[in-house]
Every structure is written in C-alpha cells, then in structure tokens.
Structure 1
Amino acid sequence: METLFKRPITELGFTPPWSPEASSSQSGRVGSADANHAIGQRIFGATPPSLPSSVATDFMTITVSHRHLYWAVPAARLHRSVAEHAQLGLELLPQLTGASKTLLAKALSESSLLAGRLEFFDLQQPELAQPSFVIALQAAHEGGDSLLGAATLAHMAFAPAFSGDASRAEEARERIRAARAFARRGGANAEMVAWLDAVEAEVETRFGDTRRALNLVHHAEETYQEHDAETQPSPAWLDWFSPIRLAGFKGNTLMVAGRGREARETLEEVLSDLPEEEVKQRSIYLSDAAAASILENNPERACQFLEEALDAVGRNWYATAMDRIKTVRQSLRQWDSLPAVRSLDERLYDWHTTVSSFVG
C-alpha cells in the first residue's frame, strides 16, 4: 500500500502489529497456540526498552532450526513452536533498531511464512494461514526483503486456487502478478522465477486451464536450465523447490489434463529420484500417480500407489496428502468390489488413519 499510494502506512490509517502504538484491540494473528491467535500484545510506554543486537541473531538461529525441522517433525507439534516463536518476534521487533531490527524482521517474516505453510498445507486451516501470511508480508516490508515478500504473495495465491470457487480465479492471478513484481524488484534468480512459474501453473491447473499450466511448466523447465547455484544462489529459505519438485508439478498438471500415461511415467521418475526423507511430497506424488493410473483404467495399480501413500502419511502426517488420497479413492467407485479396493479401504479406515484425519 505504501508503494501504491507513496505514503507511509501510518498515514494511511494502519498500524503495523509491532508498532509501540499498536493496541490490544487490534486482533490479527500469526498462528499462535491459543484459540484467538492474537498477533500482539500492547507494548506499554512511548519508548520500549532496547535489547542487545544479539537477540536478532539468536532469534534467526531458531528460525533456521524450525526451517529444518519442518521436514521431519509432525506438523501439529512444530506449529505450536513456530507460532509462538513468531509471536515472540512481534513483541521483540520494536525493541531493536538498525541492522539488528532488519535481521529480526526478516526472521519474523520467514517464521510467519512457515506458520502459514503449516496451517494451510499440513493442518488444512486456511482461515488461520491468511493472517500469518499477512504478518509475513508486513515483516518482509519492514526488513526490506522483496524476495520474502514475493514468496509470501505466491503462497497467498493458493487459498483462492484451492477453494474450488471459480469466481476467485482473478484473486489468485492478481497475487501471482504481485509476487512476480516483488521478485523482479528483489532481483530473483532463475530458480525463484521457475518456482513462481510452477505456482502459477498450479493455480491455472486448479482453475482448469491446463494448456496454460503446461506452457508455464515448460517455461519453468527452460528457466531452470539457466540456474547457476554458485553465481546466483537462492535464499536459504527456498528449500521447498527443486527440479524434482518441478517435475512433480508437471505430473500433476498432466494428470488433470487427462494425459494419464505421461503423468504416471513422469511421476514414477519423480518418485525414483525423490530423496527418501521427503516423505510429505512422496505421499502427494504417489496419490497423483494413483489418479493417473485410474485414467489408464488400472485400478489395481492405483490401489498400490495409494497404499504406499498411506504408508508415507503414517510416517509423517500431511493433511493435504490425506485429502488427495481420499479424492482419488472416490474415483475408484466403479471398482468397489475388487479385492484391491477393499484392501485399500481397510487401510484407509483403520483406527490410526481415521483418528489422525480428525485430530491432525
């Protein structure tokens, strides 16, 4: 808004949540552990007490640890820690100045972005994710980090895209356009640009334009060939994307486009190359491979993929993957009498999976 109106945010009638003037009546949130998820408490006094600059470095160290833990720790447990960490960052930010404040703002942005990712993808609570993404965007602005702003805006495009509401297509596309503008402003490298192509492809796939989505994937593949990690390294937090992940996007789009054989072959290559520790993504790709097998009228192979996906979800719960597994299972209705489908249902509705689907 400051860029658009060329005036400070405070002159436009808004108060950043880390501002000393922010009152307790302002009720956003970053995904804190309590029910209300308040984004900040009132900071009394006109001038908050100052803190040593080492606070920012220590805070960033924990943020980096959370980034690494995301791939191994159960989402519900990690979310509590990440959300409380982000809340702490909000309270600390007005007590720092200069370079230490900039560093803390960037760490806060990354923490809030991670909280939003956990809320949206892992816990399937999009109503909680949106305020977390807003805080991430505000903190990125405070830290002067356009690339974090671009990453946040791209994530904000997923909510309308996943809503199933066709009337929200332009909302998602507008956020992608904003993300690309921020990426250009921040001098994004080829990998970041390729990721934005992949996100836009996901958006277009969700809204039924698979032709444009595949064109975007093709552009991302070409862009990735220009990527030189040594001369143009990506931000450390961009750890959710790789050539393998891009191929996974492609497999999903091919599947939605009805090109079952191509989708399955692409996804099988992805699964063979995917690192063993990437359990969450494995469950997604297995589900998509199952859907592609259904397009090939091969329900037995689809059930094999889905059982493997359930194995992965059992090791590391991922609500988005479980939702996809159930969606693919619905496509097997005409084969309900097959032993393979009945065996799948025994796995899908056993005690562990059933309870986990409700408690997350």
Structure 2
Amino acid sequence: MATNGNAALRAARQALGYRSQAALADALTEAARAIGLRIEVAARTVRRWESTDPPWPHPEHAAALEALFKRPITELGFTPPWPNGTDGRSPREPLSTNGNQKAGRYRRVVGGVELPAAVAKNYVAITVAHRGMYWSLPAKQLQRSVSDHARLGADLIPQIDVRATTTLARAVSESALLAGRLEFFDLQQPEEAQASFVLALQAAHEAADTLLGCAVLAHMAFIPAFSGEVKRAEEARERVRAARAFARRGEGNHELTAWLDAVEAEVETRFGNTRQALSLIRHAEQSYAQHDPQDRPSPEWLDWFSPTRLAGFKANTLISAGDGRLALETLRQVLDELPAESVKQRSVYLADAAAACVLDKLPEQACRFLEDALDGIGEYWYATTLDRIKAVRQDLRKWDSLPEVRALDERLYDWHTTVNSLSG
C-alpha cells in the first residue's frame, strides 16, 4: 500500500496553522532561538522530515520540534535510531516528578527487559563523584570519563525502569553539563562542548528540570561570548534570556539569580559593555545579600559559584573597564578567601591580578603573579588560564628588556606549557 510521507508531522504542522514547509521551518528557527539554540531550519530539512522515511532529527532540531509542538518527536512520525527502535513493540512514556505521565520522549525497552531502578541509583553515585573530582583530577583524564558516562546514561534512558527515568535523566544532564564545562573551560574545545550542552539540555527536558535547563543554557552563552566575533553578541544574549526564563519558571533562588547576573556580566564584558556589566555585578551582589541557603538551598550541582567567585567576575570586568587599582584590591581579597582546593580558579585570578598590575604599570609585580599562575596550571592544566596569561604577556611587550619578563618567557615556553597548549 502506498504511503503519503510523514502524515503525523504534516498533520501537526497544519494543526498549528503552518500552510507550507517553509513556514514551519521559520517557526522552528524561532522556537530554537527561544530556548537558546542558534540554528537555522531550512524548508528542505522539513521536506525530508515529511518524506516517507524521515531521518531522525539532529539533537538541536529535535529540541526545537519538541519546543514548538509541545510533544515528543516520536509522536511526529520519527522512529528512534537506538537499538530495537523499530521492532514493533509498544512505546512507553516516562513519569514526571509528581508521578503523572509527562510529555517526554517515548521509550522502547531493549530486548523486552527493563533495567532495574538500582541502575539509576548507581549512575547517580558516579555523577556525584565526578562532581567532586572536577576540582582535583586533570581535565583531560576526567573529561574522557565524564563524557563516556554521559553517553552511557543517554543510552540507558530508553531501557531503565520508568519510575527511575526522571532520576536518571537528571543525572545524565548534570554529567553532560560537566563534560561541556571541561571541554570548554579546561580544554578549549567549543564544538565538543556545544554537543555536550545539547545533550545536557535534552536530558534536562527529559527530567522536566527547568533549573538544570537554565544552567545549561547559561553555559551555552559562553561559547559565542568567548568566540571574539562581535556578530555573535545577540546569540549569547539570547541564550542568557532563555536561561533567565527557565530560572523564573523553576523559581530559582537568589544565588542562581546572582550567577545569571555574573554570566550576563561576562557576556557584556566580552563585547565591551563594561558599564552594563558592572551594573549586573551590583545586582548580583544585592541578590546574594538576600540569599538564605537555609530557606531556599541551591541545587547541589551549583558548586562553581560563591560570593568569592562573584568578586572574581567583578575584578575581571574592572580590568576591562581600565580600573587596575580596584581590580587588584578586589583580587587580593578573592585570593585570600578562595578555598585551597580551587587551584584552577586561583590560577585564573592570579593571571587577572597580573593584568591589573599592567594597567597600573607594575610589570615586575605582574610577572610574579604570572609565575604563580604558571605554577597553578603546571599542577592542574586549565586552558582558560593560559589564554589570560598570554594576553597579559602581550601587554608586557613594552617591558621586554626587564629580566623578570625574560624569565617569564622561559617559564611560559618550557616543555610542559608548550606541549599542553598545543596538544589540546
């Protein structure tokens, strides 16, 4: 019997009033932007989706489809590509956190046997362990483990006891978010980080966890912000707006609001809007002043932010604004208060202190801070720190004849730093 293509998607399109495939493509592009994804959906892509044998959509396209139609893409005529996804067994839906059926993706049980809920419990334990390991293990080693763990979890979601779906999906989202953080900040792999963040966003959707979705979207803003491309400014801002919408929906507390202010301040600083950035920092400080961790505790995964780290954001913005004196004063306090285990973050602040010294024409002191920062990345490699060290070294060119600057070059271009910087 002849078929008429993907009738489910075509009917859903027409039900929403989109008369043409091009109109749906435009609507999906807008839906993607509303959730922080910078993609363009073409009419020819929709044409393929409405064909007789539609391909499984790319993860970002899938997120846009689900955001627009408010239903899982398996209800739109798409067949999952995972094992036994086309064996004719009846799909099943995950449970929401309140025990009711929710509009997550349909699942198929591999081999007809569900994995026990204990698998999710064990998976969560590893996710929590990785969270703590971030502060002490080398990034390259940890990234491999965390990334594999996130992919494993994504594979397990269609197989797990439906009652454990939300728990597992939430842990998968956190693992993929951590993988993206490692890839972006520690290893400077923005394309890999983007893929990890998309997986984290999908898993947060599966768990119906809007605060995790907020965290992922805010991290996704860093990729265009750090690209150095002015034309990507609106892309970064759009993702911050999406993150704030998710935070409001999830009733995020004052600490989460302060972190979003700091993220937006970083974005605006990257695009030269230091006045607006400093205003955001002030608002973040006010939010923190209202934060009561006993009344409204933060999610356990929000371990990368604190009043001390907010001050670090502030100092970086002050440097961009040209206020070296206040930046250095702020950073000295930050370095005094920073926990001993925060080695990677300490190295960043040391590099920022060097930048503040350059603004105040203190080259010898800047070199001492940079030497300490190099000691830090010698212990725990952090690509973000090396970027900042090299930026300060460029600013030290007028003092190239100083013995301290020549000694700095010997450290900056030794075997360890050179090999690590070029090996990714």
TM-score where L is the length of structure 1: 0.91
Aligned match for 2:267, one of 175, 182, 203: 203
Counterpart Cα distance in 1 of 2:191 and 2:273: 26
AA paired with 2:357?
Answer: S
Q: Which residue of 2 aligns with 1:59?
A: 123
Q: Which residue of 2 aligns with 1:254?
A: 318
User: Could you give the per-residue CA deviations for residues 216-249 of structure 1, whole angstroms, max 9, x where no partner exists?
Assistant: 0000000001111111110000000000000000
Query: Cα RMSD between the aligned structures?
Result: 2.0
AA paired with 2:421?
Answer: S
Asked if structure 1 preserves the Cα contact closer than 8 Å seen for 2:116 and 2:161, the reply is no
Task: Work out whether 1:336 is the aligned partner of 2:403.
Answer: no
Q: Which residue of 2 aligns with 1:147?
A: 211
Q: Which residue of 1 aligns with 2:331?
A: 267
Asked if structure 2 preserves the Cα contact closer than 8 Å seen for 1:19 and 1:94, the reply is no
Report 1:1-360 matches (<5 A).
1=64, 2-11=66-75, 21=85, 48-360=112-424
Counterpart Cα distance in 1 of 2:271 and 2:201: 25
AA paired with 1:132?
Answer: S
Percentage of matched positions with identical amino acids:
66
Distance 1:302 1:14, change over 3 A: farther
SS of equivalent residue, structure 1 residue 218 = helix
Higher Rg of the two aligned structures: 2
Q: Which residue of 1 aligns with 2:5?
A: none
User: Could you give the per-residue CA deviations for residues 51-103 of structure 1, whole angstroms, max 9, x where no partner exists?
Assistant: 11000000000000000000000000001111111111111110124331110
Counterpart Cα distance in 2 of 1:309 and 1:7: 49
Asked if structure 2 preserves the Cα contact closer than 8 Å seen for 1:124 and 1:320, the reply is yes
**Distance apart, 1:44 and its partner CA:** 9.1
Asked if structure 1 preserves the Cα contact closer than 8 Å seen for 2:240 and 2:264, the reply is yes
Asked if structure 2 preserves the Cα contact closer than 8 Å seen for 1:122 and 1:319, the reply is yes
TM-score where L is the length of structure 2: 0.77
SS of equivalent residue, structure 2 residue 158 = helix
AA paired with 1:273?
Answer: E
SS of equivalent residue, structure 2 residue 157 = helix
**Distance apart, 1:271 and its partner CA:** 0.6
Distance 1:76 1:124, change over 3 A: same
**Gaps in structure 1 of 5+ consecutive residues:** 23-42
AA paired with 1:61?
Answer: A
**Gaps in structure 2 of 5+ consecutive residues:** 1-63, 87-106
Aligned positions, number: 341
**Distance apart, 1:349 and its partner CA:** 1.1
SS of equivalent residue, structure 1 residue 305 = helix
Asked if structure 1 preserves the Cα contact closer than 8 Å seen for 2:138 and 2:380, the reply is yes
Asked if structure 2 preserves the Cα contact closer than 8 Å seen for 1:18 and 1:93, the reply is no
Counterpart Cα distance in 1 of 2:78 and 2:363: 55
